[in-house]
Amino acid sequence: MRKERDEFYEENDFQDTVQRYESMKRNKIQYFFDVFEFENIINYYIDINEANSAFEAIKVATKQHPTSAILQLKKAQVLVDKGEPLKSLEILKKLERIELNNYEIFAIKGSALSLLGDIKEAVKNFNYALSLDPENKDELLYSIALSFIQLNRYKDAIQYLLKANKMDPDNPSYLYELGFCYNKINELHKSIEFYTKYLELDPFADNIWYNLGIVYNKANELEKAVEAYDFALAINQEHSYSCFNKANILVSLERYKEAIDAYENYMELEDEIAEALTYIGECYEKLDERDKAIKYYKEALKSDPEFPEPWFCIGNILLKKGMAEYSVYYFKKAVHLDREDPIFWAELGRAYKKMNKINEAHHAYEQATKLDPYNERIWLEYAHLLYDNSLIKDAVTVLTNALELLNSSPVIYYHLAAYCFMTGDSELGFTNLNEALSLDYDQHNEFFKLYPEGRSDKKIKETLMHFKND
């Protein structure tokens, strides 16, 4: 049966059958199709991922052939594809009584159960389907693996894919999915192994070179990643994502001029270029060409005024130039466009601090710490803002709050200890100083930067000596 169906797919009259069916639907007239033809029409829609069209075809088919078990099985399969596993199981339960040895029933049942989260029963049904020794067992193994991939259960999928691959080592679909799954579970050397095997079969598969570049990047093999993207581009000059990813890696390698060329190639291929223009601006900043950087940031804003990064980047340059008042306009625009980015808020806080607008800076830093509560630098800057404005008790409160999440940070303990001594709370000061010294004695100068008078305090010197000797 499988052989006949495959041959049917290869023949030209298959397309004629689909066209005749679609003509029938379009013109609202009735043509007769036998079960075999309907099965292949339904398979056509399944293969192009049009579950709704497949389901419509099943409705028409079951009107013409109401007792066909084959069409009921197809209906169960499509219901799984449509995300309706319970309805599928109702049909499969009836079919089980009729065809106990039909592996497809149990394979579809396994898919339905996996969608419902009953993995144990799903595996039981998958394995039973395999035990019925179906034709093209490797294809069934592959189908089962795809069910698990849809659920992001990549380790389960790999078990079945490896068996399929053992039966047909040169099947590119199995190699591709193995490369994909191993990447997902961060077994990067395995992912590279299977993508490489794929490329041994088809060295001109630009998308596989692209995927290989992604994996090499994750594995921090950056030169190999660039090489993989170059192969993808040699095969397909219009592979824009390869251009973009290659450019990003070149930035990581500090090869900024090459990165600029790659971003420019990307912009020749894509319409939405605000991000690439921004990254070119950042490259020019790294090359210490700020005027060129601003030029590209402004080009990015022309391309997409709602993209927040170039607003932020211009603000950053202005702040570095000592033009805090002008930078605030750009930082506020960035924050308006993306209120969830803690770095935008932190830079706005720094700009307000430079302008001596303490309340505004206080609010900006508060927002930044809420959005990124594990950022040590932002907490310290926030506390230092308060300290610089003689709000030392408030600085103590801020760092105490920080330690609820960053209780292994010696720098925060050193700063908190200094602020406590300044407020006259020497007991709490020593508690935090002891904690800081136990975590990292070598950073104790952080304490004296804020509280230099501690160098002449006998008890503090004794405490330091005790930890130094330990």
Query: Does any domain span residue 254?
Result: no
| Residue 403 domain boundaries | 387-470
Ranges under pLDDT 70 in the chain: 1-14
Query: Does any domain span residue 278?
Result: no
Give how many domains the chain has, as a whole number: 1
* Closest among 376, 369, 325 to 351, alpha carbons compared: 325
Query: Does any domain span residue 426?
Result: yes
Query: Does any domain span residue 427?
Result: yes
Question: What is residue 167's DSSP assignment?
Answer: H
Q: How far apart are CA 70 and CA 467, in angstroms?
A: 79
How far apart, in Å, are the Cα atoms of 226 and each of 162, 197, 238? 29, 19, 16
Give pLDDT, residue 13.
61
Asked if residue 21 lies in contact with residue 31, where contact means CB atoms within 8 angstroms, the answer is: yes
Query: Does any domain span residue 439?
Result: yes
Give pLDDT, residue 9.
46
- Burial pattern 144-162, b for ≥16 Cβ within 10 A else e, equals bbebbbeeebbebbbebbe
